[in-house]
C-alpha cells in the first residue's frame, strides 16, 4: 500500500460516521456530571480550564468538575457568570452554586444547534451563576505552559488595545490570535461577505506565516544554522497553537508544519497527502466528534482542494511561461480558486452562501495578512521596549489594518459578491465531490461512467423532490421568534406567504438573519410570494429587514399604518432598493390561493391604537380554518364577535400576554390554540385550558399540516420545563 495513512484515516472516518448514524456518539458518557443536570440549583467543585471570556452580559469559562453536591463526579461544564465583578481566572479550583441544566436542541429547524456545538466539544451541561458570592475560590493550580500561553495572549491583546484604535485592535486581534470578542457585527459581516472570514479566526495560513516569519528571523537576522533554526521553530509553533486556542485549522496546520520540520531535520521527503491525513487522524483520535465541525471539514477540504486541483490548473494554463510577477499572481488566484471549489458545498450547507468575490479578495488580502501578522508581532515586542519605536510601529500597524478593513469593506459591497443558496442535501454534496474529483480523470473508463452516473442522479434529484412532495397539504408554521410573530404558510399549489417577521427591542442578534432565514433556507426556499405585515410593531417587522434582503419577494402588504421607528424606516428603504411591490389590505377583502380561502376581517380603518390596527385573517381550507389575530385588544375582539370567526385553530393575539374577551373566545370555539411567545401569562393559559394549547416557548416552532379534512400539529421540541429555556444563547 503506497499511502497507508490515507487508507487508515479514511477507514477511521467511516467508522466514526457509522457510530454517529447508529447513535453511539450522541450519548452522554456514563458517570458524566451532565446526567445529574435537572435544571435545579447545584453546588459544583472543579478547576477552571479555559481563559474566562467576557461579553456584554456575562463571563464564560469551562469547568473541569470533581464534585457535585459533595459527591465525586467528572466531566466538563460551561459556566455562564452574570454578575458584574469577578476575581477568578484560569487554573483556579472553585466551588460554584448555580442553576445546572442541559442545553436544548434548537427550537427552530435549520438554525444553529448550540447543544450539538457544545456536545462536540465534550461539554454536555451548562451552569448559570448570578451572584458574585456564588463562586468561591478554593485553590490555584494552573498548568504552567498553558498559563504562559494565556499570559502571552493577554499581553498581546493589551498591547493592541493600548496602542491602536478600537476597530484596528479588534481586527488585528482576530488576525494574529483569533480573538473575536471585539469584532462588531458589521466587521464580521463584511469579512464573511468578502470571503475572507477565515483570516479573523486564525486559519492554517497563519501558522505558515508564523513559521516563515520566525524562520526568516533565525536564518537571516540571527544567522543561525538551518537545523538549529528548525529546532527553535518547533516550540514557537506549539506555543502559537496554544495562544490561538487550538481550533481545527490551526491544529491541522500545526501538525503538518511539525511533520515537515521533522522531515527536514531527518533529511527525508514529506508526502503531502500522508501528512494531511495523519494530521486528521491525530485530531480525530483525540476527539472523533471534531469530524462533524464546520471548521475541521472546511480546513481539510480547502487544503486538499489546493493540493488536488492546483497542479491541474497550473499545467493547463502554462503559467510557467509568463513573467515571474504574473506567474505568482495567477498561481495565487488558482490556489484560491482550488480552495473555493473544495469548500463551496460546505459554505452553502453551513452558511447558505457561496462567495464569488473570494477569488479576488483572497488574492489581495492574503498577502497583506502575512504583513499584518508580522506587524502585529512587531507591535507586541515594541510595546515591551516602548520609546519612539512603539509610536512608529503602532502607526504603521494601524495603517496596515485599516487598509485591510477598507479593502474588505470594498470587496464585500461589490454587487453579487455572494450568492445566497438553500442548504444542499448530504447526497448533493457527495455527488458534487465525486463529479469535481472525477472530471480531471474523465478519460479513464471507470471514472467516465462514475461522473456520467453522478451527473444523471444530480439532475434527477430536483425532479424527484418535486414529484415526491405532496401538493394537497396546507402547511402553516409558527416560527419560534420569542416574544413576536412569524407565521410561514405553504399552500397546496406551492405558493407561499410570510405573516410578520419577529423582532426584539435591544436584541443582540438579528432574528430575521439567524432564525427566519435559516429556517426557510433549510426548507429550500429562495423566494416568497407574499409578505404580510399585520402592524408596525418592532417584534412583528424587524426580522423582515433581513428576509427582504435575503429572498426574492413578489409582494409586501401592510395595513397602511406607518411607523417612525428607525427599524421601520430601514425596512422601507430595503423595499424600495429591492423594488418590491407594495400594497395594503383592510377588512372586507378576500382572495383565494388554490383551494384556500383568505378573508380579511380587520382593520376597518386606521385608529390611534396600533394593536387594534392589526390585520386579522381567517384562512379556510375545506373543513379546516385558522384565525390569525395579530395583537388586537378586547375592543377589536368585541367587534369581531359579529363576524364569522369560528375556527379550528386560534392564533392567540398579543402573544398570550393579555386575557381574551370571553365572548370572542366562545364565538371562535377553537379546538386548538397556538401562542407565539417567550413565556405566556398564567391567566391566559388557564383561560385556554379547555382546548388543546401549544406555545412556542414550550414546543418550539410549530407546524400545522392539513389536507382540508384531517389535520395534525408537529412540535419541534416537547416537554421542556419553563425554567430550562435559555434566552441568551450567542
Give the pLDDT score at 422: 87
Mapping DSSP onto H, E and C, the string for 234-292 reads HHHHHHHHHHHCCCHHHHHHHHHHHHHHHHHHCCCCCCHHHHHHHHHHHHHHHCHHHHH
- The CATH architecture of the domain made up of 474-721 is 4-Layer Sandwich (3.60)
Terminal-residue alpha carbon distance, the chain: 47
User: Cell 456536545 belongs to which residue?
Assistant: 119
pLDDT digits (tens, 9 = 90+) for 111-130: 989 999 899 889 999 999 99
The arrangement of strands across the sheet holding 581-584 comes to 581-584, 552-558, 527-532, 496-499, 487-490, 474-478, 702-706, 711-715
What values do phi and psi take at 596, rounded to 5?
-95, 125
User: Cell 483520535 belongs to which residue?
Assistant: 285
User: Rounded to two decimals, what is the model's pTM?
Assistant: 0.84
Give the pLDDT score at 42: 94
- The span from the CA of 575 to the CA of 580, in Å, is 5
Fold equal for 32-142 and 474-721: no
- Listed by start position, the domains of the chain span 32-142, 429-468, 474-721
Give the pLDDT score at 82: 92
Give the pLDDT score at 727: 30
- Asked if residues 677 and 657 have their Cβ atoms less than 8 Å apart, the reply is yes
How are beta strands 552-558 and 581-584 bridged, if at all?
parallel
Greatest alpha-carbon span in the chain: 93
How are beta strands 53-54 and 71-72 bridged, if at all?
unpaired
156 CB-contact burial (10 Å; exposed 0-12 / middle 13-18 / buried 19+): buried
- Which of 702, 681, 678 has its CA nearest to residue 482? 678
How are beta strands 649-651 and 624-628 bridged, if at all?
parallel
The arrangement of strands across the sheet holding 590-593 comes to 590-593, 596-602, 616-621, 624-628, 649-651, 672-675, 692-695
- The span from the CA of 189 to the CA of 418, in Å, is 12
Give the pLDDT score at 35: 92
User: Cell 483570516 belongs to which residue?
Assistant: 199
Give the pLDDT score at 722: 34
- Give start and end residues of each alpha helix (H) in 511-591: 511, 517-522, 538-541, 544-550, 566-577
Give the three cell numbers for residue 109.
429547524
Residues comprising the chain, all counted? 730
For the chain, residues with pLDDT lower than 50 are: 719-730
Give the pLDDT score at 321: 63
- Asked if residues 37 and 101 have their Cβ atoms less than 8 Å apart, the reply is yes
Listed in order, strand segments (DSSP E) in 350-481 are 353-355, 418-420, 474-478
Give the pLDDT score at 202: 67
Q: Is the domain covering 32-142 a CATH 2.40.50.140 domain? A: yes
pLDDT digits (tens, 9 = 90+) for 674-685: 999 988 888 899
- Asked if residues 535 and 503 have their Cβ atoms less than 8 Å apart, the reply is no
The CA angle 150-152-154, to the nearest 5 degrees, is 70
- Which of 698, 682, 629 has its CA nearest to residue 482? 698
Give the three cell numbers for residue 397.
500597524
Amino acid at each position: 500500500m503506497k499511502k497507508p495513512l490515507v487508507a487508515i484515516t479514511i477507514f477511521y472516518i467511516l467508522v466514526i460516521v457509522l457510530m454517529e448514524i447508529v447513535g453511539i456518539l450522541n450519548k452522554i458518557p456514563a458517570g458524566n456530571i451532565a446526567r445529574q443536570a435537572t435544571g435545579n440549583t447545584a453546588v459544583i467543585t472543579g478547576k477552571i480550564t479555559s481563559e474566562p471570556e467576557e461579553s456584554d452580559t456575562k463571563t464564560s469559562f469551562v469547568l473541569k468538575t470533581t464534585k457535585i453536591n459533595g459527591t465525586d463526579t467528572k466531566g466538563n461544564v460551561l459556566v455562564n457568570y452574570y454578575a458584574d465583578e469577578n476575581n477568578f481566572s484560569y487554573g483556579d479550583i472553585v466551588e460554584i452554586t448555580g442553576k445546572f441544566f442541559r442545553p436544548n436542541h434548537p427550537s427552530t429547524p435549520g438554525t444553529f444547534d448550540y447543544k450539538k456545538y457544545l456536545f462536540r466539544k465534550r461539554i454536555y451541561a451548562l451552569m448559570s451563576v448570578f451572584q458574585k458570592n456564588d463562586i468561591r475560590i478554593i485553590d490555584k493550580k494552573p498548568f504552567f505552559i498553558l498559563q504562559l500561553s494565556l499570559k502571552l495572549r493577554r499581553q498581546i491583546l493589551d498591547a493592541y488595545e493600548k496602542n491602536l484604535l478600537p476597530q484596528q485592535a479588534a481586527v488585528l486581534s482576530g488576525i494574529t490570535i483569533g480573538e473575536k470578542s471585539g469584532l462588531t457585527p458589521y466587521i464580521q459581516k463584511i469579512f464573511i461577505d468578502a470571503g475572507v472570514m477565515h483570516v479573523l479566526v486564525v486559519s492554517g495560513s497563519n501558522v505558515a506565516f508564523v513559521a516563515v516569519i520566525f524562520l526568516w528571523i533565525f536564518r537571516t537576522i540571527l544567522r543561525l544554522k538551518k537545523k538549529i533554526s528548525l529546532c527553535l521553530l518547533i516550540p514557537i509553533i506549539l506555543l502559537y497553537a496554544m495562544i490561538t486556542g487550538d481550533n481545527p485549522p490551526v491544529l491541522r496546520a500545526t501538525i503538518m508544519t511539525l511533520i515537515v520540520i521533522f522531515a527536514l531535520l531527518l533529511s527525508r521527503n514529506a508526502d503531502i497527502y500522508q501528512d494531511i491525513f495523519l494530521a486528521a487522524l491525530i485530531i480525530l483520535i483525540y476527539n472523533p466528534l471534531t469530524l462533524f465541525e464546520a471548521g475541521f471539514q472546511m480546513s481539510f477540504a480547502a487544503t486538499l482542494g489546493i493540493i488536488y486541483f492546483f497542479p491541474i490548473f497550473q499545467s493547463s494554463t502554462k503559467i510557467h511561461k509568463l513573467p515571474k510577477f504574473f506567474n505568482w499572481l495567477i498561481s495565487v488566484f488558482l490556489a484560491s480558486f482550488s480552495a473555493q471549489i473544495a469548500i463551496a458545498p460546505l459554505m452553502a450547507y453551513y452558511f447558505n452562501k457561496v462567495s464569488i468575490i473570494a477569488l479576488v479578495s483572497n488574492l489581495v488580502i492574503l498577502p497583506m495578512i502575512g504583513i499584518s501578522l508580522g506587524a502585529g508581532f512587531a507591535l507586541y515586542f515594541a510595546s515591551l521596549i516602548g520609546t519612539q519605536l512603539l509610536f512608529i510601529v503602532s502607526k504603521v500597524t494601524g495603517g496596515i489594518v485599516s487598509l485591510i478593513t477598507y479593502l474588505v469593506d470594498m470587496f464585500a459591497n461589490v454587487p453579487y459578491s455572494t450568492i445566497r443558496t438553500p442548504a444542499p442535501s448530504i447526497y448533493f454534496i457527495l455527488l458534487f465531490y465525486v463529479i469535481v474529483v472525477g472530471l480531471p480523470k474523465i478519460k479513464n473508463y471507470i471514472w467516465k461512467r462514475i461522473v456520467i452516473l453522478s451527473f444523471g442522479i444530480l439532475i434527477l434529484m430536483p425532479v424527484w423532490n418535486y414529484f415526491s412532495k405532496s401538493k394537497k397539504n396546507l402547511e402553516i408554521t409558527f416560527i419560534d421568534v420569542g416574544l413576536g410573530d412569524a407565521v410561514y404558510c405553504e399552500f397546496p399549489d406551492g405558493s407561499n406567504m410570510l405573516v410578520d417577521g419577529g423582532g426584539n427591542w435591544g436584541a443582540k442578534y438579528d432574528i430575521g438573519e439567524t432564525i427566519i432565514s435559516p429556517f426557510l433556507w433549510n426548507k429550500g426556499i429562495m423566494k416568497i410570494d407574499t409578505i404580510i405585515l399585520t402592524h408596525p410593531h418592532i417584534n412583528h417587522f424587524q426580522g423582515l429587514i433581513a428576509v427582504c434582503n435575503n429572498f426574492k419577494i413578489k409582494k409586501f402588504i401592510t395595513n397602511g399604518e406607518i411607523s417612525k421607528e428607525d427599524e421601520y424606516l430601514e425596512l422601507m428603504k430595503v423595499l424600495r432598493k429591492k423594488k418590491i411591490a407594495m400594497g395594503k389590505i383592510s377588512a372586507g377583502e378576500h382572495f383565494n390561493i388554490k383551494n384556500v380561502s383568505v378573508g380579511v376581517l380587520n382593520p376597518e380603518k386606521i385608529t390611534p391604537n396600533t394593536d387594534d390596527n392589526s390585520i386579522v385573517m381567517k384562512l379556510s381550507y375545506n373543513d379546516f380554518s385558522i384565525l390569525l389575530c395579530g395583537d388586537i385588544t378586547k375592543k377589536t375582539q368585541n367587534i369581531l364577535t359579529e363576524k364569522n370567526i369560528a375556527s379550528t385553530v386560534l392564533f392567540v393575539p398579543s402573544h398570550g400576554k393579555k386575557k381574551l374577551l370571553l365572548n370572542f373566545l366562545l364565538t371562535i370555539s377553537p379546538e386548538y390554540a397556538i401562542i407565539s411567545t417567550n413565556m405566556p401569562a398564567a391567566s391566559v393559559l388557564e383561560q385556554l385550558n379547555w382546548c388543546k394549547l401549544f406555545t412556542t416557548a414550550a414546543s418550539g416552532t410549530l407546524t400545522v399540516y392539513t389536507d382540508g379534512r384531517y389535520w395534525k400539529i408537529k412540535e419541534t421540541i416537547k416537554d421542556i420545563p419553563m425554567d430550562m429555556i435559555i434566552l441568551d444563547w450567542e
